[in-house]
Amino acid sequence: MIIPAFICDAIRTPFGRYGGMLSTLRTDDLAAIPLAALMVRNPDVDWEQLSDVLLGCANQAGEDNRNVARMAALLAGLPVGVPGATINRLCGSGMDAVGSAARAIRAGEATMMIAGGVESMSRAPFVMPKAETAFSRHAEIHDTTLGWRFVNRLLQAEYGTESMPQTAENVAREFGVDREAQDRFALASQARAAQAQKDGVFDEEITPVTLAQKKGDPLILTVDEHPRATSLEALAALPPIVSADGTVTAGNASGLNDGACALLLACEKTAYKYQLKPRARVLGMACAGVPPRVMGMGPAPAARKVLVQTGLTMDQMDVIELNEAFAAQALAVMRDWGLQDDDPRVNRHGGAIALGHPLGASGARLVATAVNQLHAGKGRFALCTMCIGVGQGIALVLERV
């Protein structure tokens, strides 16, 4: 018998700009913030009974090494007996953590779990490989912020190792997504996010982050840093970042960001026991593979897969949270599904182009935002989906309760 898994609470930090306010925080300290917030928000829970903490993280080469989920759980003050595991499905890590926690509850192997993700792209380190021969004079250095490093030549020969922006250009070319459409999509994302911030839409899902200063009062970050005012003319003036005749720009792509998110999941019996309020049921999760050179198309098959799994259709989705890694791939995916470029269900309050994309945290943020949107609009079903580097997609379906 499948035991329903419910999302009972969700909280995140504001998302910071690259080199912005959150760049002063270690990744493990950043991950601990929403965990601690969940504990404060749910005082009736016996945290000794928490089955596990699963956090997504894509880098794991710096302060997020040595199992950041376990380190964050300890830093947040969870009981030492609560275990933790870090999941790496690159951009899909946070969503995979939520789906995996729900799967454990549905299987009866867990009763209550925390799932989410973290990424500090500002603090991603440079790394150097060891010498392969004695007395070697050869040295390399890799920036771990984003993309390939320590490239496997066989993989490169077979599938290519294009950068993330290059894969977006590939999608734009192959699926006919022009520059103007990308810029219009990016402008809409910024406008929606700005309106959502003005209306306090994200207040429920954001916990303020207090940052100590050497002098003066602490700084308190309460809103996402990445959104910015722009115009279609300003976006059109930005130069392409891949090639002179390209269409992908800094304005129609997501940013490099810092942030963390955590959700509390439980079975019905445990939720009742600790006076938790189930807000959404996790109905299913699915992943799919696509050629790495067009990795942005991953959500297309992943969404179809999870809809078949749950017996639902795209028309039944009241909320669609599609991660905007790039406007080019988001539009190509929507068109593949048969949706209009301005479908009102998609990223109603803006997406990663405006809000930012801290890799390991983004998937969890999509789920948290979708839950809140379902309740605000009294919808029933939500689809959360995103593309993943090296050619994958992930999708998860929720039902409001």
Asked if residues 171 and 294 have their Cβ atoms less than 8 Å apart, the reply is yes
User: Is residue 384 flagged as an active site residue?
Assistant: no
> Which residue from 380, 382, 389, 400 is spatially nearest to 285, judged by alpha carbons?
382
> Which string of DSSP letters, residue by residue, matches 148-191?
--S--HHHHHHH----HHHHHHHHHHHTT--HHHHHHHHHHHHH
For residue 143, list its beta bridge partners.
126
Name the active-site residue from 91, 261, 267, 287: 91
Q: Which two tokens stand for residue 100?
A: 């995996």
User: Is residue 91 flagged as an active site residue?
Assistant: yes
| Residue 334 backbone dihedrals phi, psi, to 5 degrees | -60, -45
Asked if residues 119 and 257 have their Cβ atoms less than 8 Å apart, the reply is yes
Name the active-site residue from 261, 267, 287, 387: 387
Burial (CB < 10 A; 0-12, 13-18, 19+), residue 277, is exposed
Distances, alpha carbon 81 to alpha carbons 47, 49, 52, 115, 276, in Å? 10, 9, 9, 17, 22
User: Is residue 261 flagged as an active site residue?
Assistant: no
Name the active-site residue from 57, 226, 357, 384: 357
> Which residue from 115, 105, 125 is spatially nearest to 63, judged by alpha carbons?
125
Amino acid symbol at 275: Q
Amino acid symbol at 383: L
- Give the Cα separation of 383 and 4 in Å (integer): 18
Helix/strand number for the chain, H first, E second: 12, 14
Asked if residues 202 and 224 have their Cβ atoms less than 8 Å apart, the reply is yes
Catalytic residues: 91, 357, 387
